[in-house]
Amino acid sequence: MLNLNTYKFRLTPRDALYAASAVAAVLLASPSQANHGKIRAPLVPATIEVPAGHKAFLKGQAVGTQNYVCLPSGATFVWTLSTPQATLFNGGGDRQVITHFFSPNPDEPNTDPRVKADGMIRPVWQHSRDGSAVWAKAFPPSFDPNFVAPGAVPWLLLEIVGTQDGADGGDKLTETKYIQRVNTGGGIAPSTGCTSWTDVGSRVFVPYVADYFFFKLDDDNN
């Protein structure tokens, strides 16, 4: 079994400062929605709508960083996403429910010879209480200005491509079929600082916030 604790994100004092301010911004900008009872799916661009027959069952308000590394790309140099690192809180912002990062997906073989890993590197969400986890691949992102704020990472629809129960059989996340990332703020790569070979390998950690909605099959309609 993959030891996800190797990859789990832990807040540093600096990140905790970002988290405190970002959580306050999220709570001031949108109504609180607790993770119990019925959760309403968000209004999103048509290109990232969840397929019919699914319902939202969990929402997390994410606070963290989008982490970039400067790499060569042809004749130029670009900031390339290396991993997100985020903590998802409940609707009241007072309880951690999920951590979000990159790790190998045990359900997909690695096909990239440049990466030494037991599985394909994918974004993963791990439940903070029972240890269950899901890996996902993203559909084309939405930059629709009617939804996505200036300077924010795009909104996403992601499909689950791997699941894993927690060490004690926890399965709070394993029914997930799709995830939406919406209501984003911040997180885009810098426009400077990655222009030459001397910059290659440099890293930046850009604070961001987002709401993540988790969807499972709607058994009531099947």
**Number of CB atoms found within 10 A of residue 17's CB:** 12
Give pLDDT, residue 205.
98
What are the CA-CA distances from residue 149 to residues 50, 66, 127, 142, 198 (Å)? 21, 16, 28, 11, 33
The C-alpha angle 58, 62, 67, rounded to 5 degrees, equals: 135
pLDDT, mean of each 10-residue run, the chain (222 residues): 37 42 42 55 97 96 97 95 95 88 92 79 95 97 97 98 92 96 98 96 97 93 59
Closest CA to 106 of 6, 211, 217: 6
Rounded (10°) CA dihedral 151, 148, 210, 37? 160
Closest CA to 158 of 185, 173, 139, 143: 139
94 burial (CB, 10 Å; 0-12 / 13-18 / 19+) is exposed
* Distance, CA of 102 to CA of 123 (rounded, Å): 4
Give pLDDT, residue 53.
95
Q: Are 155 and 168 in contact (CB under 8 A)?
A: no
Closest CA to 153 of 213, 79, 220, 207: 207
Q: Say if pTM beats, i.e. exceeds, 0.85.
A: no
Give pLDDT, residue 222.
54
